Chains A and B, each alone.
Chain A
Amino acid sequence: MRNRSLHIGAWLLVAIALTAVAAPLLLPDPDRVDYAAELAAPGAGHLLGTDQLGRDLAARLASGARTTLGSVGAVWLVSVAVGLFAGTVSALAGRIGHEVVARIVDVALALPQTVVALAVAGAIGPGMWQLVLAMSATAWAPTARLAHTYVHAARDRPDVTAARMAGIGTVRAMAAHVLPAASARVVVLATLGVGQLILSLAALSFLGLGAQPPTAEWGRMLADSRHDVIAAPWLIIAPTAAVFLAVTSVSLIADGARERVDLGSRTWPRF
């Protein structure tokens, strides 16, 4: 059952990614304006119709997928890499190193991700990279905490102790016995938040704080089409469906993966 959701989710994500990558070869330029074909209905010329400026909706959806997957992927990567690194360092670096990391993590955990994004947009202006930066600033905190907890507990595990006693250095013992399992947990935890992340980025872009024109982004596309709900419903349905499918795929993956890896108790212990 769980494996099935993992599989469906993974295939869905692969399909979205393939569409995003292959679209430039198959579909028109997503930014090409054609005043003669404004708000064309879905059909032969334009698979999913066109928008207010006659741009091909399918191409823009695919381009929006690149925007979304790129920015979400960046935040995900940060939360995995920085989280794993900071958590491991904090677990192995002794008292002072731990305290420093722990305090930073405490603050980062106390700052709601979207609120930070809103604050950064307010200070340095709207933009997709600002959002990615702001989201990444706190995204690594939960993963760091998980990595710390896991690595810290593993340090005194019999197999690790045995490896160390056998003369292998602490770092090598950790790398061989602990890091793979810690990474798996961190990856799953980071993936759990991706669905919400996609929704947040789309919502912030809808508000005009994310992708700026003419960059195609699902939330922004929907915002630009609010006026045309009746005249061109496909302009609302398509980006909504895209967000829905993307969130569904990563949620299915996360659900499936969570069953495979034990993330420990649901409320993480405080340091």
Chain B
Amino acid sequence: MAAVLSVRGLHVAYPDGTRALRGIDLDLADGECLALVGESGSGKSTLMRALLSLLPKGSRVTGSAVVDDGDEAVQAVGAGRAALRRLRGGLLGHVAQDPHAAADPLWGVGRHLREAWRARGIRPPAGAAEKRAEAVGIGDAKARLRQYPHQWSGGMLQRAHIAGAGVHGPLITLADEPTSALDAGLAATTLAVLREDARALLLVCHDLRHVAAVADRVAVLYAGRVVEIGAGVLERPRHPYTRALVAATPRPGHGLPVELPGTPPDGRREITGCAFAPRCGVAEKACRTEDPALAEGVACPVVRR
């Protein structure tokens, strides 16, 4: 299947000099769900924001990220007005982290949902909002949409966001930790709804168990790089970092979780060699000087041997 998103050599540096992404390469196939995992600060959210051009003013973005729906390829890096109009809300749907924070508290939920049309200068067709709401499992949509966000539960409100993100049938839905603000029980169903509703899904998620349930492939990010990518990454982690990540996740019957030692590198410093080497249990001398390339889905020459 053709890649709907192909990211090549994407670098992002924030205005304060922090290098959040240091050369990302990845592809997303049509209809696929790719989950991005990694510690805080590994660059997952930065990648999403870069695709939507939502980075703070003064950030430096280089490289390429092409969104291709088959008819038209749109470059998301340095996108101009026309490209942004195609991408935001059109080719790319976006579901935010905290459903309550992401919904304007002064607006009724219905208005918020209809805004998905109006933001693009389209009059929402009559009944379309209710139809979308019902499509994501919101019952009694007509009455409920008249209510305000603070009267909604987080899970339901997140469904409304999912409905809003999918209004224009986006090629790719970008979801930035959509369940982290929700109760555990709700998270699973909300994710299921999201997967069901989205065509291709780029999902940032902390909870590896949820990731395993919905993702077709997983990309592990560390210090702004993809260190491991593939279908069975979480079941058979190869990269030392992935292993540590998996080990840090509590699983019934697997004993106490093992906390990851050390801290991620300072993004403002120049990194030579493997960024994970200082925290790595299997690091060799060469790891400190040689930049490990991603090959066979893993960026670690040690484990590949």
A/B touching: CB–CB < 8 A? no
Residues of A bordering B, CB below 8 Å: none
